Amino acid sequence: MTGLDDLRRDYRAAFLRYLPRREEAPLRAGYEIGRAAVVDGLSILDLAQVHHEVLLEVISTTRREELGDVASAASEFLVEVLATYDMAQRGLRPGP
């Protein structure tokens, strides 16, 4: 992945694959997106912004009765994407 445009493209594709069935493969893709973002030096704020953009796109075409499911899926997906940032942060903490 190189840059914010690739992040947007890949995030949107993986999230849209995850949304209808919540299967493991798109979640794994989300994890890899987060990992690649760390390697490429993108910030956690970049990921949050892209997540928000993609979620707004999806919500704009979602029926009212499905909004709860979409919000839940979006949360699950974002947690997976952010997992690498969490691991990196924990690795930088001084020991007890």
Q: Residue range 43-58: average pLDDT? A: 97
Closest CA to 30 of 93, 91, 87, 84: 84
Class of domain 3-92: mainly alpha
Domain boundaries, the chain: 3-92
Quote the pTM value.
Answer: 0.89
H, E, C per residue of 23-78: CHHHHHHHHHHHHHHHHCCCCHHHHHHHHHHHHHHHHCCCCHHHHHHHHHHHHHHH
What pLDDT was estimated at residue 95? 64
User: 3-class SS at 1?
Assistant: coil
Q: Name the amino acid, one letter, at 9.
A: R
- Looking at per-residue confidence, does 96 or 79 come out higher? 79
pLDDT tens for each residue of 18-28: 999 999 999 99
